[in-house]
Structure 1
Amino acid sequence: MIRFYSALIFMLFSLSLSGCAYRQIMVPEVTDGEFAAAYRNDLKTLASDEFQGRKPGTPGGKLTQEYLINSFKSIGLEPGNNGSYVQEVKLILSKTTATGITFVSSDSESLNIELNTHIISRIEGVDADLILVNKQMIFVGFGSESEEFKWHDYADIDVNGKIVIILRNHAGFAANDSSVLDRPSSAKHGYFSTKFKEAKSQGALGAIVIIDSTLSKSKFYWKRWVERASKGRNSLYDGEVDSSTLKLVAYFNLEKAKQLFAMAGYDYDSLLVAAQTPGFKSFDLGITLSGDFMREQTIYSSNNVLGLIRGSKRPDEVVIYTAHWDHLGMGEAVEGDSIYNGTADNGTGTASILSLARAFMAQPLPPKRSILFMGYTAEEMGLLGSKYYADNPVFPLGKSVASINIDMLNFAGETHDLIMFGSGKSDLDEYAKRAAKKLGMHVQDDLWPQERYYYRSDHISLARKGLPSMSMDTGIDSKEHGKEWGMEYHQMITDSIYHKVTDEYSEDLNVDGIMQYLQVVFDVGYTLANSSKFPNWKKDDEFRPIRDASRSKVRMEKTSY
């Protein structure tokens, strides 16, 4: 890797004399040597059994944070949070138990349900206990309310103080009909969070979503959901009391849901078709729910880890590289292995920010803008670390330049391409395309838009605050094996590695494609850090108004002095 650093130093020095733009720099090949060796060492260490799957709140999580802090120090980064390398994130673990969960029809037929077998639930709000006695059940289709799409599942139905039962995803997806909820913004109506938020706004006492795997492109394993739910749910702890009327949130096994509808005299498949039709009317199922639910809570802390290279000209303007350091920890043993090592997810991203930090520190001059390298905690618990930073940024987001998030790179080797999740959303696409072109590569659009990957990792937390945020993946068009093989490899990773104990480190893992990727994201960050431009979202993007407002506020503050 000496060859990489010396080549960059020489070219940057030459350009500083000539005044040429950085975009003309030829990015050297970095698939061998010191850089790749250091990357492998970090990856191997982070994914070792010693780190116990890097779960927040465990010894393995603490060890991971210490490793990042010590690495940042040895690389030469400043503390990224006002003299500290950490930003404390308070979390709360809630575990729900229940007895006597029973659905009863109008003719007194009953269906008994077991928690964490047939249904997964949690109590919302301040009360630790929730006793339900004969609460009415209302079927609200997909539970969507949208003036934009003229879709109103809650029209002409009173759900106040009642339990709503909801279909997964949204009507357009279920119907496979582009005329139904046909714009990209319709995707949000399929999110669980959107459904629960709408149920809350309608005054529902509880909301139950039926988990039908046919209503998602993702592989679904109910058993895995149950296993994770039995360990409890983590969320950010802010000490505030939720006084909303929604007290119960639950996910329902499909087979039991079909039995429930049959008991009420309805066929699930017929109702699914009906709910996809514009003008669908929600209705009372003639079923009641009873049950005693109890909640135990534990408050604990974890940390985002931050290291900084201070800019020489505009230090208050910050380019941010991020990756979540956490994984799933330890769980049920599979063939004798109980450690979810998380090599790909997200050892690859965590090792990447360390490698990028070394590359930037090797430059002869510091960047004009500051560069923040941040390892988020608790991504696997619901993007909690990034949500906390987005709500409590160390550096004002109006002055932050962009976020480049790295999450779960693959080991397919060198490719002709890289994949941009959320392609077409911001100016950052063009930065990546120019950087990739220098390597003879191209950046292609998201190949799996139905999976909504852009909305499923940490960059979305900052995006929702208006900061242009890039999420790019390693490619699938393998130089050695071709595109078809690459697609098969991607599917194999999804089916056989993702969130499984098989996501382990091996010396046979091919990091050559990751080295390509790191050259490109280094280029993007370097260009941004030595520019005076602020990239933005595209004109019609959902996050553009937020960014415009934050940048306008910064400009107004400057003129007020």
Structure 2
Amino acid sequence: MIRIAATLALLPLAACATTPDTQGEQVVPPLSLETMKETVRTLSSDAFEGRMPGTPGGQMTVDYLVEQFAAAGLQPGNGDSWLQEVPLVEITGSDFAPLSVGDLQLQHGEDWVGVSYRQTPSTTLADSEIVFVGYGINAPERGWNDYEGVDMTGKTALILVNDPDYMADGLEGPFGGRAMTYYGRWTYKYEEAARQGAAAAIIVHEDFPASYGWNVVESSWSGPQAYADTGGDGSDQTLMNGWVQLEAAQAIAQQAGMDLAEMTRAASRPGFQAVPLGVTASTSFANSYRRYTSNNVIGILPGTQRPDEVILHTAHWDHLGRCTPNAAGDDICNGAVDNATGTAGLVALAEAHVEVGAPDRSLVFLAVTAEESGLLGAEYYAANPVYPLDQTVAGINMDGIAVRGQSRDVNVRGGGKSDLDAYLATALDAQGRTASPDPAPEAGYYYRSDHFPMVKRGVPMFYVKSGLDLVNGGTAAGEAAEAAYRANAYHGPDDEYDPDWDWSGLMQDLDLYYRLARDLASTTDWPEWYEGDEFRAVRQQSCAASPEGC
């Protein structure tokens, strides 16, 4: 049972947090609005050219963050260095042959897309037997294994997107009902197919369960693809990972004399068994690749009582670099909101915690690279942690802090999964705010930002976003502002710094992140995943592996 630490002394909805000094008076840590403004303005300026890793603008960003972390009073977070090198590889496929299945000749881009995670000059998938593996899930804690009894060596897994119960109206079901779990994410499905020894993994695309259209898939999976260079030239991965249009998947099933809709209904029920289709898949394409290095930037405020126990803060510093020009001809994706705001939050929070003084546990500030390429910097850190994950108590991720004014609520992604819920409830009560559930749980946003590589290795992490119930205008105003940002600025050249932004909501959120970190760093408790959660077992294994762990 978790025991909540004494909460911080409070100020109502201020742009700062408070904690008592030795005389019992309030000490206000300087959560500096000026720091936020100047850092966001600098990082999103044209001089940084969109902060693309592997470019001069990316290197400028790293150098700037080292300066800011040092000026905030942090210590280098990787021994005597501020940096963790992140080896990356960029692979570009070309000369795609059709995907041949029986009499079908499926055209690349129109019917299917595919890439190789392997660093080889060419990829050839030849006469690989297709096995329909339902949702491609192996979840022992839920009594579910779509691969049970089938040897996938050399075979192609045909996989449904999302979870078996995604059509539920509510959040009840073996996989959280309408809310996507990690098992529903395409990243998991490819990882599991590789663990099963499959030669290829192909996911069936549908707009609703994927939460995006085929145009997003086609554009995202064409052209250069960046990956973490983990060594071994990707030999532990499948030959090919890809997607296929729903109509094409239906045609594949018909080649086998089967009905995809009927097979999908069967895959949604417990006890499903994989179905060999009796047809094979073949294709080939060329690969070119280059290796390069980017950096995570790490600073630490060592704890006074238990310095080996860590509270982690994460935010990605990168953005998209140069991109499709807007109507004015501007081709720099500046990424002011996404994620200069979160990166600036690391600096401002570091200043505040240093000013108040180190808490019992250490606070680590991790600015990660290559989020826009698939959480690569965070994934590299999680696979090569500077601070052992079994000594990382919990963490807070900041990605795109909204600048639309104060809100009465926050949007909680990943709520109802761990003891972190209690910490959030305490901090929100202090602010006079409420927690709103994820408005689109089926989209699986909890599994799509930089906290997640730590989460899937068992570390409980917050991903709390700016609320939509605005003090001025209510939810209608909040939803309109969010929609306008998505339509006009997100991942485009118009995500730029605006001196006329209303910063009060951003500072309100920063206040929340301060409270959460300070509470977690001042207790002896270790938040746990709830019974039955998909990350509980890996955390328990991690904690049991070392006598110092958890």
- 1:441-452 matches, within 5 Å, as 441-452=433-444
Match of 1:129 among 122, 129, 135: 122
Match of 2:381 among 377, 381, 389: 389
Match of 1:412 among 404, 413, 418: 404
Residue 301 (structure 1) shift: 0.5
Give the TM-score, by structure 2 length: 0.85
Tell whether the 8 Å contact from 1:169 to 1:191 is kept in structure 2 after alignment.
Answer: yes
Question: CA separation of 1:265/1:337 partners in 2, compared to 1, >3 Å: closer, same or farther?
Answer: farther
Is 1:351 the counterpart of 2:344 in the alignment? yes
Tell whether the 8 Å contact from 1:420 to 1:429 is kept in structure 2 after alignment.
Answer: no
Match of 1:421 among 386, 409, 413: 413
Residue 164 (structure 1) shift: 2.9
1:536 paired residue number:
527
Residue range with higher mean Cα deviation, 116-125 or 511-520: 116-125
Query: Larger RCO: Structure 1 or Structure 2 (Cα < 8 Å, ≥ 6 residues apart)?
Result: 2
Question: CA separation of 1:145/1:35 partners in 2, compared to 1, >3 Å: closer, same or farther?
Answer: closer
Is 1:196 the counterpart of 2:190 in the alignment? yes
1:95 paired residue number:
92
1:505 paired residue number:
497
Is 1:50 the counterpart of 2:51 in the alignment? no
**How many Å separate the matches in 1 of 2:362 and 2:472?**
38
2:3 paired residue number:
none
Residue 394 (structure 1) shift: 2.2
Match of 1:525 among 511, 517, 522: 517
Question: CA separation of 1:69/1:141 partners in 2, compared to 1, >3 Å: closer, same or farther?
Answer: same
What whole-Å deviation, never above 9, does each CA across 1:12-47 have from its counterpart, x for those lacking one? 5x63134x9xxxx6979x8xxx92132112112212
SS in 2 for 1:438: helix
Match of 1:332 among 308, 317, 324: 324
Percent identity, aligned pairs only, is 34
Measured on the aligned residues, the alpha-carbon RMSD in Å equals 3.5
Residue 527 (structure 1) shift: 3.3
SS in 1 for 2:322: strand
What whole-Å deviation, never above 9, does each CA across 1:462-519 have from its counterpart, x for those lacking one? 2333333222111111111012332343344445443333322222322211111111
Question: CA separation of 1:417/1:99 partners in 2, compared to 1, >3 Å: closer, same or farther?
Answer: closer
- 1:111-126 matches, within 5 Å, as 111-114=105-108, 116-125=109-118
Question: Amino acid of the residue matched to residue 422 of structure 1?
Answer: G
Match of 2:32 among 23, 31, 35: 35
Question: CA separation of 1:357/1:233 partners in 2, compared to 1, >3 Å: closer, same or farther?
Answer: same
Give the TM-score, by structure 1 length: 0.84
SS in 2 for 1:373: strand
Is 1:210 the counterpart of 2:204 in the alignment? yes
Residue 391 (structure 1) shift: 2.5
Match of 1:298 among 287, 290, 293: 290
SS in 2 for 1:17: coil
Tell whether the 8 Å contact from 1:98 to 1:291 is kept in structure 2 after alignment.
Answer: no
2:228 paired residue number:
236
Question: Amino acid of the residue matched to residue 190 of structure 1?
Answer: G
Tell whether the 8 Å contact from 2:62 to 2:295 is kept in structure 1 after alignment.
Answer: yes
**How many Å separate the matches in 2 of 1:26 and 1:475?**
27
Tell whether the 8 Å contact from 1:468 to 1:535 is kept in structure 2 after alignment.
Answer: no
1:63 paired residue number:
60
Residue 306 (structure 1) shift: 1.3
SS in 1 for 2:349: helix
Question: Amino acid of the residue matched to residue 184 of structure 2?
Answer: G
**How many Å separate the matches in 1 of 2:201 and 2:536?**
32
Tell whether the 8 Å contact from 1:411 to 1:514 is kept in structure 2 after alignment.
Answer: yes
Larger gyration radius, structure 1 or structure 2: 1
**How many Å separate the matches in 1 of 2:400 and 2:229?**
27
1:74 paired residue number:
71
SS in 1 for 2:303: coil
Tell whether the 8 Å contact from 1:95 to 1:296 is kept in structure 2 after alignment.
Answer: yes
1:360 paired residue number:
353
**How many Å separate the matches in 2 of 1:479 and 1:547?**
39
Question: Amino acid of the residue matched to residue 208 of structure 1?
Answer: I
- 1:237-316 matches, within 5 Å, as 237-244=229-236, 246-261=238-253, 269=261, 271-273=263-265, 275-277=267-269, 282-285=274-277, 287-316=279-308
**How many Å separate the matches in 1 of 2:490 and 2:468?**
17
Tell whether the 8 Å contact from 2:391 to 2:548 is kept in structure 1 after alignment.
Answer: no
**How many Å separate the matches in 2 of 1:471 and 1:537?**
16
Question: Amino acid of the residue matched to residue 536 of structure 1?
Answer: P
Aligned residues: 535
Q: Which structure has the highest helix share of the two?
A: 1
Tell whether the 8 Å contact from 2:407 to 2:468 is kept in structure 1 after alignment.
Answer: yes
Tell whether the 8 Å contact from 1:537 to 1:543 is kept in structure 2 after alignment.
Answer: no
Tell whether the 8 Å contact from 2:101 to 2:252 is kept in structure 1 after alignment.
Answer: no
Tell whether the 8 Å contact from 2:51 to 2:57 is kept in structure 1 after alignment.
Answer: yes
Question: Amino acid of the residue matched to residue 495 of structure 2?
Answer: D
Is 1:84 the counterpart of 2:81 in the alignment? yes
Question: Amino acid of the residue matched to residue 122 of structure 1?
Answer: V
2:391 paired residue number:
399
**How many Å separate the matches in 2 of 1:258 and 1:51?**
47
Question: CA separation of 1:502/1:262 partners in 2, compared to 1, >3 Å: closer, same or farther?
Answer: farther
SS in 2 for 1:337: coil
What whole-Å deviation, never above 9, does each CA across 1:104-140 have from its counterpart, x for those lacking one? 53xxx442413x4442212244643233344443333
Residue range with higher mean Cα deviation, 178-187 or 59-68: 178-187
Residue range with higher mean Cα deviation, 182-191 or 482-491: 182-191
Tell whether the 8 Å contact from 1:26 to 1:438 is kept in structure 2 after alignment.
Answer: no
**How many Å separate the matches in 1 of 2:135 and 2:540?**
33
